[in-house]
Structures are given as C-alpha cells and as structure tokens.
Amino acid sequence: MSDGPGRDLALELVRVTEAAALAAGRWMGRGRKEPGDEAAVAAMRLMLATVEIEGVVVIGEGEKDEAPMLFNGEIVGNGMGPRMDVAVDPVEGTALLAHGRPDAIAVIAIAPQGTMWSPGPAFYMDKLVVGRDAREAISPANLRAPVAETLAAIAGAKHRPVEDLTVFVLDKPRHAKLIADVRAAGARVLLRTDGDVAGALMAATPGSGVDVLMGIGGTPEGVIAACAVRALGGAMLGQLAPQKPGERAAVIAAGLDIDLVLFERDLVRSDDVFFAATGITDGALMPGVRYTGEGATTDSIVMRGKSGTVRTIHAEHRLEKVMHLGPKAY
Amino acid sequence: MIEPMDRNLALELVRVTEAAALAAARLMGRRDRDAADQAAVDAMRYTLSSMEIDGTVVIGEGEKGETPMLYVGERVGKGTPPAVDVAVDPIDGVTLLANGRPGALSVVAVAERHTLFSTHLAYMDKIAVGPKARGAININAPVQENLRRIADAEGRDVDELTVVMLDRPRHERLIKEVKEAGARIKLISEGDVAPGIMAAMEEDTGIDVLMGIGGSPEAVLIACALKCLGGDMQCRLWPRDERERQLLAEEGRDLDRIFTVDDLCRGDNVFVAVTGITDGELLRGVRYTGGYARTTSLMMRSISGGVRWMEAKHDLKRLREIAGPRYEGVKHRQAHR
C-alpha cells in the first residue's frame, strides 16, 4: 500500500505567519518599529509550538543574548516531527509597517536540518533573482557584469524588450549607481525602502509585476528568499557584500568566502523546503491584514519545494473565536 | 499559560479534496461517471493515507464489499491520534462532471470519533439557512411561515429570498408553496452540498435557503459546514419506499424526529475542505495551463470559525514524480475508453 504524498508542512506554517501578521497588523503606521515586531514574534512563537517538527531556529531575531524569543539556536515546534532548520522573519520590513508602507510581510521557511546556509557574521549580500522563465539566462558572472548586459539576457529569455522588464531595487544610497544603470538600460524600476524578501518573492513569481531583483540586502533575508525561489523554480545568485564597519574582517575571520557566488541551491541545500508568507500591510504580492469589527482577513502564499505546489490563501478569522484559543495579542 | 492551538486539519484535508478534484477533472464531459468517480476515489484514498489521523469512514462510497475503497467502516490515515470520523464525497455532482456541467466539487469532513450521524436511508428532508436566520426555522411548520420568519430574521422581504432545491418531481408541491409565499426559486439538477454551504455563508452568495429532499450523506456534510459557518438546519428522514420504511424501523428511528445540526454532527472540533471540479458558483473548477493545474478550495474549522479560501497552482510534472499518475485520472480514462 502506498504511503501517500507526504506531509505539506507549508499548510501548517501558514497559521504561523497569519498569527504574526494578525498581531503585527495592529501596529501599522504607528511610527514605531519595535512593538509590531514584538507582537509578531510572540504570536509566531506561540503558533510555531503547534507545528509538528523538531525545529532549530537558524535564522531568527538575533543571538540568544540579544533576542528573548526566536533567537538563533532556539528549539521550536512540538518536537514530534522531522528535524528541521527554521528561518523566520516575523515582520519583514519593520519600517514599512511602522510607516504604513506597502509590502510588510510575515515569513517563515523550513528545510531539513543542516541544509540552510549559515550567514554567521555576514549582514549583507549582493543578490540577483529571476523567475523560472529566465533561469537559464543568468550565471555567476552576472553579479559583476554590466547591468545592461544582465538585463538584456533576462529580457531575451523572456522574449521581450528590456523596456518591458521591472527591476526591484532597495532605495538605498549604496544603490545609486545600480539604479542609474538600470534606468540607462531602459528597464523600469520598483524602488522600495525595505523588504527584499518580498522583492525576491515577486521576482520569482510569474505575473507578479516584478521580473528581477538586484542589489545588496540582508544575508539572512537572502537565505529565506532562497527557500521561496527554490520552491518557485526560479534562480537566485548571492555573494557576500560587507557594508558595515568591521563586517568584512568578521566575515573573513569566520572563514566565509567573499568571492564565492552562491546559488539558491547552495543557500538551501534541499528541495524538501517549505515556505509561508502573510501580508501585514497591503502590497503588490498580497493584501495586508484587514480588520472588520468581528474579525480580520489575511492573505498568504505558501509553497512546498518538493511538489512545486504554490497556494494562495485568503483567510477569514473570527477574532472572538480565536481569542479563546490564542493570545490576546491578536 | 495559554495553551497553543492544536492542528487545523482542514488545512491538511484540502490536499485530499484537491487530489480528488485534479484526478476527476481530467474526465470532465466524457459521460463516464464510473471512471470519474474511480479516479477521484483513488486519488482521495492515496492522499488520505498520509494524513496523521486515526480515521474511520462513516460516510463513504458504499458498504464494505460493495466498494473496494472508502467504504463505510474503512480505516484511513496513518492510524495516529486524533481518532476521527471521516465523511467523504469524492465527487458531489458526478453527473454534472460527466456531462461537463457546472457545480461538481469534492468534499471531505472530519470530526471527533463517533460524532457524525449515519443512516442506511438515502434521503432526508432539509431546511438550511445562514447565521442570521438561526433559530428561525422549523421543518414542521408550513413553508410560508418558515420563509416569513427567515426574511424577518434577515431584515428583508420574503420576495427578496432565494430558495434552492433539487429539480425533482417530488418537489412540485414545495415549489408551488415557495412560489405562493413569494420567494425566488433556484432549481438545481444535482449536488446540494454547495448550495447548502452557500445558504449558510454570511456574505451575499445569492442563495438564502436550502429546502427539500436530498441525500442523507450530503445532509451530514452540510451539517459539518454549518457547524463551522454558524448556520442552522433541520432535517427529517425520508424513506423513499417500503424497504426503506423497514430500514427506518430496524434502525429504531422515527419519521417525526427532527435532526438538528448538532444531531447530524455532534463534534465540537469539525473540519471541512471543499475543492471545485467543474466551475461553479461557490468555487472555480480545475484549470489546466501547460504543465500546471489550478484548483480553488474552501476550508473551514468549527472551533476558530475561520474560513480560508485557497487557490493552488500544482506543478504536474513534479506531482507525477511524487505520486505517479494518481492525480491525472489517466488509468481510468484508458480503462473506460
């Protein structure tokens, strides 16, 4: 007799990101980053305790002494299922949330133990992300090649002119040249102040309106994004790009190779990967949390790498009923 | 200390109805009901086997011996707790599917062990409404009175209500009475689970009341959905012939007994998943797009009262690597050519 198709943990993970989003959504536009993040962390951690995994946080809120919950190394899950690496970002884009800007999301990714790349002291990473249809168009050389050349290759694979491409770039001073180069190449630019996991997710999702993600963002975010890119069948390149004072020395001291170009399959070395994201503020990917008086609605996207199944979930939560079960944090 | 929430089985159940829908949808419009049903049953059985439940089918494809899979009494799942009753309807509206008509869907409900009602009688007389009209219905009262009370509870006129029922000769009198009361009527050829769910939804689905005689298994599935959505229903057993009258006596049941939602579904922790097979008013059907298939589903849970709508994009090549041709209904297409 057959054992069936195996478990889709992504379907359990969506409750984790929904909980984080419901808690964080209350803090939209209130000007402060910390309370929204704290609320999301608490809700995420509570719900994560129900997921049937023996999980270890490998990408969390920080080191044990600086983060009370979901710190790196914390054991999560109900301890009964498979051993998994867990990467979380309860509020991806805390500044977006604090200022009521689009595309703040709650995200989580899990993969078999030992398969997620460990960023160590590396804060920053140069990234290039495309969807499935442009997979074959990019190679490690593209992280150093002229932007126009890379965009031309991507446009070629997509059978359209460069003018029809939209490139997601974080709006940071370090990207002044990159943005100028993209503009000079003729592509459209989507500038966002924060949130390059959402950007990577869009770049890897066909029909999202974003075709490419370029530029330097967080290394931990790069690992989370790689999980989604892998499940979506897209391609991602990443190379450490130290920006903070002392970061380069720390990265080298930790034995990390600054010249090495990592693919999505290096950043997460298994296709048995699960990913879930829930919108907190309205965004291009999905609507944010809406409160209705009696409850709230959330919109999420979940994926399973092995099967390639991608699900979007619109949930109607009745807060009155959920309260009996969960934290007042909602 | 707050107890963390336990598993939401509805989220796992959706894979079961998705699998049945993906397999069955391949046989749309081929006028082969048996092949479609077999394809759905096979796929449903396969996905149920990896669920971490100790399940017993209480509403299935038939009695043991009559049917090889998903028969009443069959144990499904991995056998690990929780112990649950499982009600399946791999294809609600198999004739709709076989003829390529709208409204075929796949549905599964799960509740605590020994909490779902079952009977050997095929039919029940039903009246079902949404949360606003809770407490307003009485299956023994005249149709006109029921409709007036439902309209009052919902704050509108009787002529603004839409009543759905199966288009059967047995409903001639019911149709006449609804007409006289002034409500609008929607006649369906088959499959009253979806209209039952739509009647129970708080939002404007275009259906306000489900009335008339339909399947008993479907009544239980609707009751499970109502438990999640907060609607109301009353049912009575309806023996169609002398043999079923005897069955009624053998089961020690009473024609006058009114079955409420709680009688049909006594559980407090109930989960329901539904996936569209052909396009319908509640859900879109399966769509195929070059290597991918899209499904649309609905999931509910009684405890949290949460409803989730899901659209899934399935990578057919990768699914084949995992499950072989089970999601494709291919074997059945060939076998019944």
The closest of A195, A192, A193, A197 to A229, measured between CA atoms, is A197
pLDDT over 60 at B35, yes or no: yes
Residue B242, SS3?
Answer: helix
> Is residue B2 a part of any domain in this protein?
no
Q: Looking at chain A from residue 233 to 262, which residues have their Cβ under 8 Å from any Cβ of chain B?
A: 233
B4–A46 C-beta distance less than 8 A: yes
**B268 touches A: beta carbon within 8 Å:** no
Q: What domains, with CATH codes, occur in chain A?
A: 10-116+273-323 (3.30.540.10), 124-267 (3.40.190.90)
Q: What is the pLDDT of residue A3?
A: 65
> Is residue B191 a part of any domain in this protein?
yes
> Is residue B250 a part of any domain in this protein?
yes
Is B224 within 8 Å of B109 (Cβ atoms)? Answer: yes
How many Å apart are CA A120 and CA A124, to the nearest integer?
11
Query: Same domain for B276 and B331?
Result: yes
Q: What is the pLDDT of residue B227?
A: 95
Of residues B5, B52, B310, nearest to A326 (C-beta)? B5
> Is residue B4 a part of any domain in this protein?
no
The predicted-structure confidence for B220-273, as pLDDT tens digits, reads as follows 999 999 999 999 999 999 999 999 999 999 999 988 999 999 999 999 999 999
CA atoms within 13 A on the CB side of A89: 28
Min distance A208 CA to chain B CA atoms (Å) = 14
The closest of A221, A212, A176 to A194, measured between CA atoms, is A221
The predicted-structure confidence for A262-289, as pLDDT tens digits, reads as follows 999 999 999 999 999 999 999 988 999 9
The predicted-structure confidence for A65-98, as pLDDT tens digits, reads as follows 888 899 999 999 999 889 999 999 999 999 999 9
Torsion of CA A124, A125, A127, A132, to 10 degrees: -110
The closest of A3, A195, A1, A203 to A107, measured between CA atoms, is A195
> Is residue B102 a part of any domain in this protein?
yes
How many Å apart are CA A123 and CA A220, to the nearest integer?
7
Query: Same domain for B99 and B161?
Result: no
Residue B165 sits in which domain range?
A: 123-264
> Is residue B139 a part of any domain in this protein?
yes
**B315 touches A: beta carbon within 8 Å:** yes
The phi and psi torsions of A107 (rounded to 5 degrees) equal: -135, 150
Residue B317, number of CB atoms within 10 A of its CB: 10
Best to test chain A binding among B53, B197, B301, B310 (most A CBs inside 10 Å): B310
Average pLDDT over residues B50-74: 92
Non-local CB neighbours of B169 within 8 Å, separated by 6+ positions: none
Contact residues, chain B, for A314 at CB < 8 Å: 308-310
Q: What is the percent of chain B with per-residue pLDDT over 70, rounded to a whole number?
A: 96
Q: Looking at chain B from residue 26 to 55, which residues have their Cβ under 8 Å from any Cβ of chain A?
A: 46-52
The answer to ipTM > 0.90 is no
Query: Same domain for B182 and B52?
Result: no
A315–B46 C-beta distance less than 8 A: no
Contact residues, chain A, for B307 at CB < 8 Å: 315-316
> Is residue B1 a part of any domain in this protein?
no
How many Å apart are CA B318 and CA A26, to the nearest integer?
39
For residue B143, the one-letter residue type is V
Which parts of chain A sit beneath pLDDT 50? 1, 324-330
A192-225 exposure pattern, b = at least 16 Cβ within 10 A, e = fewer: bebbbbbbbbbbbbeebebbbbbbbbbbbbbbbb
Query: Same domain for B103 and B196?
Result: no
Query: Same domain for B135 and B176?
Result: yes
Query: Same domain for B232 and B108?
Result: no
Best to test chain A binding among B11, B53, B132 (most A CBs inside 10 Å): B11
Non-local CB neighbours of A199 within 8 Å, separated by 6+ positions: A129, A168, A170, A190, A192, A210, A213, A217
DSSP β-bridge partners for residue A40: none
Per-residue pLDDT band at B10 (split at 50, 70, 90): confident
Average pLDDT over residues B25-47: 95
Q: Residue B187: give its domain's CATH number.
A: 3.40.190.90
Parallel/antiparallel/unpaired status of strands B209-215 and B271-276: unpaired
Query: Same domain for B178 and B210?
Result: yes
Contact residues, chain B, for A316 at CB < 8 Å: 306-308
* Domain count across chain B: 2
Query: Same domain for B202 and B297?
Result: no
Residue that wins the pLDDT comparison between A94 and B10: A94
pLDDT over 60 at B95, yes or no: yes
Instruction: Please provide the average confidence, as pLDDT, over all residues in chain A.
Output: 93
Q: Which of B264, B289, B306 is the last residue of a domain?
A: B264
Q: What is the pLDDT of residue A319?
A: 75
> How many CB pairs (< 8 A) connect A and B?
111
A321–B303 C-beta distance less than 8 A: yes
Query: Same domain for B250 and B279?
Result: no
**A321 touches B: beta carbon within 8 Å:** yes
DSSP β-bridge partners for residue A29: none
Best to test chain A binding among B315, B317, B319, B327 (most A CBs inside 10 Å): B315
Contact residues, chain B, for A12 at CB < 8 Å: 7-8, 11-12
User: Maximum CA pair distance of chain A?
Assistant: 60
Is A132 within 8 Å of A103 (Cβ atoms)? Answer: no
Strands (E), chain B: 54-59, 75-76, 83-92, 105-112, 123-129, 162-166, 184-188, 209-215, 232-237, 259-260, 271-276, 287-289, 292-301, 307-315
How many Å apart are CA A185 and CA A151, to the nearest integer?
8
B172-204 exposure pattern, b = at least 16 Cβ within 10 A, e = fewer: eebbebbeebebbbbebebbbbbbbbbbbbeee
**A208 touches B: beta carbon within 8 Å:** no
Average pLDDT over residues B203-213: 93
How many Å apart are CA B178 and CA B168, to the nearest integer?
15
Say if residue B67 is exposed, middle or buried (CB neighbours under 10 Å; 0-12, 13-18, 19+): middle
Query: Same domain for B142 and B256?
Result: yes
Q: What is the pLDDT of residue B334?
A: 60
> Is residue B229 a part of any domain in this protein?
yes
pLDDT over 90 at B66, yes or no: no
How distant, in Å, are the alpha carbons of A207, A287, A288, B129, B329 from that of A300? 16, 9, 9, 30, 30
CA atoms within 13 A on the CB side of A183: 8
Contact residues, chain B, for A325 at CB < 8 Å: 3, 5, 303-304
Per-residue pLDDT band at B4 (split at 50, 70, 90): very low
How many Å apart are CA B150 and CA B146, to the nearest integer?
6
Non-local CB neighbours of A139 within 8 Å, separated by 6+ positions: none
Q: Which of B264, B293, B321 is the last residue of a domain?
A: B264
Min distance B68 CA to chain A CA atoms (Å) = 14
Min distance B166 CA to chain A CA atoms (Å) = 30
Q: Residue B78: give its domain's CATH number.
A: 3.30.540.10
Is B327 within 8 Å of B316 (Cβ atoms)? Answer: yes
Is A200 within 8 Å of A211 (Cβ atoms)? Answer: no
For residue B262, the one-letter residue type is D
pLDDT over 70 at B29, yes or no: yes
A1–B49 C-beta distance less than 8 A: yes
How many Å apart are CA A146 and CA B4, to the nearest integer?
52
The closest of A239, A53, A233 to A142, measured between CA atoms, is A239
Q: Which of B246, B264, B282 is the last residue of a domain?
A: B264
Contact residues, chain A, for B5 at CB < 8 Å: 15, 47, 50, 325-326
How many Å apart are CA B86 and CA B69, to the nearest integer?
13
Query: Same domain for B228 and B167?
Result: yes
How many Å apart are CA B63 and CA B197, to the nearest integer?
26
Residue B337, number of CB atoms within 10 A of its CB: 8
Residue B67, SS3?
Answer: strand
Q: What is the pLDDT of residue B333?
A: 61
B307–A315 C-beta distance less than 8 A: yes
| Token reading at B122 | 């095929």
B4–A47 C-beta distance less than 8 A: yes
Q: What is the pLDDT of residue B331?
A: 65
Of residues B5, B307, B319, nearest to A47 (C-beta)? B5
Query: Same domain for B102 and B198?
Result: no
DSSP β-bridge partners for residue A166: A188
